[in-house]
Amino acid sequence: MSDDEDIQVEGPSIPDDDPMRAFLPTSFGKKHREADIAAQIDRSKRTVDESTAPKPKSQESDSKNKSDNDSDSDSDSSSDDSDDEDEYPTSHEMVIKTHDRAVTTLSLDPAGGRLISGSIDCTVKLHDLSSLTPTTIRAFRSVDPYETKPSSATHPQAKILSRDGDVVTEFVKGDMYLRDMNNTKGHVSEVTTGTWHPTDRNLCVTAGTDSTLRIWDINNKRSQKEVIVFKSKAAGAAGRTRMTAVAWGSPAQGGNNVLISAALDGTLVMWSGNGPFTRPAAEIREAHKPNTWTGGIDISSDGRMVVTRGGDNLIKLWDTRKFKEPLVTVEHPSTSDHYPTSNIKYAPNSTSIITGSATGHLHILNPGNLRPEYTTPVTPGSPVITVDWHPKINQIVTGSANAETHILYNPTMSTRGAVDVMSRAPKRRHIDDNPEFTTDQSLGLSGDAIVTPGALPGTRKTGITASGKSKDPRRPHVPQQTPFMRSQPDEKHISENIPLSRMLHEDPREALLKYADLAKKDPVFTKAWKSTQPVTQYADVSDDEEEEGPEKKKAKR
């Protein structure tokens, strides 16, 4: 047969409309399956009601204060850049379910490639967005910083963790018996919140229930750099209250930064961020209702405006230049009764303000009058506790009470982050992809990771506990065979050939009482002086001594 001749393979004689054709192969050899990226992006599109969908607005319509239902011609006349700036990145979403309980705090690194979330299940989950796929959305590390239970998660010592979840610094605990908080070297009670310095990444500030703010240098864990003691006028002679929230902001164009904190007595206090911190620059009493938890506070990018969200169901806008009365006050249902860390954040360039609600909606507010510009459901029926809008990747991250983390994005406006995750080909599912079968869940390692035992820093634990259980969760405890142990005879041999050897495992008192009668009849240890042992003689006591006693007779003399 020549090479020019075509080889014809006779196929089965089945009609074209026969359903059996669906089960027959159409070609031979290895087949390559390519992921349909467009279909993956479409599957992540959110189903939002048209009445609440975001609508682009032109710069011209903004300047003339037109309504939201402008005509399409006006919108088309605006530039594409203005449309991109005014549209919200909420058309698509990626859902992360790695916690067991409510997600109360979250943050993205400056590059937007790593997501860190905290929950009331006392764990911190670290997610590397650059290594996730649509079918493998999970945390690469799970950390329990204080190894506590949910009922006792508070701690007076703040910790600094690295991007890999390792403890870098643990600040010292102060002396709780010192009355003057200026003389303590650390917090003496629970730390409620903290934040970083706006420009110096070696400095951070923590707020505590001991009525203090403490500024730390992460290179010195033995004492704070500055201690700010807030003396509450509403607390009476004690002068102590709980500091519930703190924000540290700096103008983007440069200038002095400002440090603002809220207290449980309803006071809002402002200091100059560069010091000195002996006296506050301004103080507003009853900024929010006393004894309600003000958990949300943020400063605009120009350092002039401050927005607070209190437990009194109010959101207030303040001006740092006239820090006396709120500029705007609006009602907003609070979730601080169950989740006091409910926050409020400025959008990039302070073009909007975002916050969650008890109904599970994300609210985007106007930064001037605090009116809602756009409201969309994220987790309906489950409160949205924490929100964040990353400026570099232009994506909104939310944490809800149902233990879900949502990343909202727009494929045309957002970059990297969730866009890259949903654009990758899904990994073929295999039994080894389930981390419950391949890794120890206490370490938080991914199923496709190959890790040498003990190679990860901070995960290797040697020795055994008091109950004899190995501290290393990956390795059972094996008793160490020393030369001394190998030279010891068998326990059975000892019990059979050495008299009284079983007394080593008995209670001494019970053993003595058990052999009391036998010791009298056949004394083993005192047989040598049995015949010469003197008889015990007790002193005779007179009748007078029995009645009065020796102490009374001595007193009469």
Quick: pLDDT tens for 401-411. Answer: 999 999 999 99
Cα–Cα nearest to 264, from 230, 236, 295, 292: 292
Contacts with 160 (C-beta within 8 Å, 6 or more apart), sequence order:
167, 168, 169, 170, 204, 218
Contacts with 514 (C-beta within 8 Å, 6 or more apart), sequence order:
none
CATH number at residue 262: 2.130.10.10
| pLDDT at position 300 | 93
Residue length, the chain? 557
Query: How many of the other CB atoms lie within 10 Å of CB of 335?
Result: 22
User: Residue 214's domain spans which residues?
Assistant: 84-438
Cα–Cα nearest to 70, from 56, 51, 52, 80: 56
| pLDDT at position 266 | 92
| pLDDT at position 81 | 40
pTM score > 0.85 for this model?
Answer: no
Which tokens hold the place of 231?
């003396």
| pLDDT at position 425 | 84
> What residues of the chain score a pLDDT lower than 70?
1-12, 25-35, 48-86, 148-153, 237, 336-337, 429-491, 500, 502-505, 511, 536, 538, 540-557
| pLDDT at position 335 | 75
Quote the number of domains for the chain: 1
228 part of a folded domain = yes
| pLDDT at position 244 | 93
100 part of a folded domain = yes
318 part of a folded domain = yes
Quick: pLDDT tens for 372-402. Answer: 999 999 999 999 999 999 999 999 999 999 9
**Which DSSP letter does residue 443 get?**
T
The DSSP code sequence of 489-507 is: PPHHHHHHHSTTGGGGGS-
